[in-house]
A and B are shown apart, each in its own frame.
Chain A
Amino acid sequence: MSGYLAMGGYALYVWGSYALTALVLGLLFFGARQGLKRRERELDSLRALAPHRRQRAGSKKGEST
């Protein structure tokens, strides 16, 4: 197992590449989801202030995960 993790001496480069990819793609995904959730909450709070407009803006339905 430790022989596998050592990647024939290239551990830093191989695991570094995969870790960096995971980090960047993770930030991109969770950042996008966070932004969407925040705006959904903002819109909901605005709708709560003006309930009569609820029917007109009706297409907001889906969940994000």
Chain B
Amino acid sequence: MTDTTTARSANLHRLANPGRFLRFADRIYPWCFGTMLLALTAGLVGALALSPADYQQGQSVRIMYVHVPAAWMALFVYLNLALASASLLIWRHPLAGVAAQASAPIGAAFTFLALATGSLWGKPMWGTWWVWDARLTSVLILFFLYLGYMALSNAFENEERGRRAGAVLALVGVVNLPIIKFSVDWWNTLHQPASVSRIGTPAIHSSMLWPLLVMALAFTLFYVVVLILRMRSELLAARLRALGRLAVEGR
């Protein structure tokens, strides 16, 4: 990297310095954690008590308040993973790689939850645990993309190489996601001519919308909280490895 690019992007990543990041993370962590607990409590009360039952789906509509935010998070975390991967490859932020790698298991967990709660919702609505519905199938492939990223980024002796290879894969995945979505929709219309009812209604009443949005906020903050924990843990691991090397060299 040349000095000019370093200087130009210096103000872009003040947080790229691990020490600075740790101080920033320590400062926002309690706020994120507290707001998350508040949002989670409010969201759960809204989802389980205050919101009405659906006139068609009855009480089973309450699954929506975990299913839909989890599905949103599955995509949102992948987007973050891709953005962090891009900044790792373009500006060579070491922290961006750590952020991408720390995001992947969280995103995979949300994707798994979207699939599992979708299945739990589908059983009473469709009569089976799994339907090869276009949306569920796309989310399933997203789950495999997460697993691929995690497997690749952990498959190297050299952590940095793993993160960089994973970053390339994450970006290939972002290019392919719309294609996969399109192809799965196409495949779905070929094989199941619009007989399957879709989860989620386009127009949603405000008494159902606010718990949904509050739960989505709680999930987003949960992501930030766990991301901070995982990134700090990874930075400590890097320091431990460095100290281990020093100890070996000093001997």
Report whether A29 and B121 are in contact in the complex, using a CB–CB cutoff of 8 Å.
Answer: no
B236 touches A24 (CB 8 A): no
**Cβ distance B183 to chain A, nearest Cβ, rounded Å:** 29
Which residues of A sit under 8 angstroms from B22, Cβ to Cβ? 59-62
A57: nearest chain-B partner, CB-CB: B239
Residues of A within 8 A of B225 (CB): 29
> Interface range on chain A: under 10, 10 to 19, 20 to 34, or 35 or more?
20 to 34
- With A and B bound together, what is the CA distance between A20 and B63 in angstroms? 11
User: Chain A interface mostly helix, strand, loop or mixed?
Assistant: helix
Main secondary structure of the interface of B (DSSP, over half): helix
- Contact between chains at B239 and A14 (CB < 8 Å): no
What number of B residues sit within 8 Å (CB to CB) of A? 42
* Residue A48 is within 8 A (CB to CB) of chain B in the complex: no
Q: Of A24, A42, A50, A65, which is within 8 A of B112 by CB?
A: A24
A35 to B123 alpha-carbon distance, docked (Å): 36
Q: Choose among B121, B229, B230 the residue with the greatest number of A CB atoms under 10 Å from its CB.
A: B229
Contact in complex: A10, B66 (CB < 8 Å)? no
Q: How far is the CB of B202 from chain A (nearest CB, A)?
A: 22
- Cα distance, A59 to B24, chains bound together (Å): 11
- The answer to whether A20 and B124 touch (CB under 8 A), given A32-B230, A36-B229, A46-B240, is no
Q: Write out the residue numbers on chain A whose beta carbons fall within 8 Å of the beta carbon of B232.
A: 36, 62, 64
CB-CB < 8 A to B63: which residues of A? 13-14, 17
Closest chain B residue to A16 by CB distance?
Answer: B120
- Chain A residues lying within 8 Å of B247, measured Cβ to Cβ, are 46, 50
Asked if B117 contacts A43 (CB within 8 A), the reply is: no
How far apart are the CA atoms of A24 and B174 in the complex, in Å? 25
Q: How far is the CA of A65 from the CA of B22 in the complex (A)?
A: 14
Q: Quick one: which of A1-51 are within 8 Å of B by CB?
A: 7-10, 13-14, 16-18, 20-21, 24-25, 28-29, 32-33, 35-36, 39-40, 42-43, 46, 50
**Can you offer 13 A-B residue contacts whose CB atoms are under 8 A?**
A7-B60, A7-B62, A9-B58, A9-B59, A10-B59, A13-B63, A13-B123, A14-B60, A25-B222, A43-B243, A53-B243, A62-B25, A64-B229
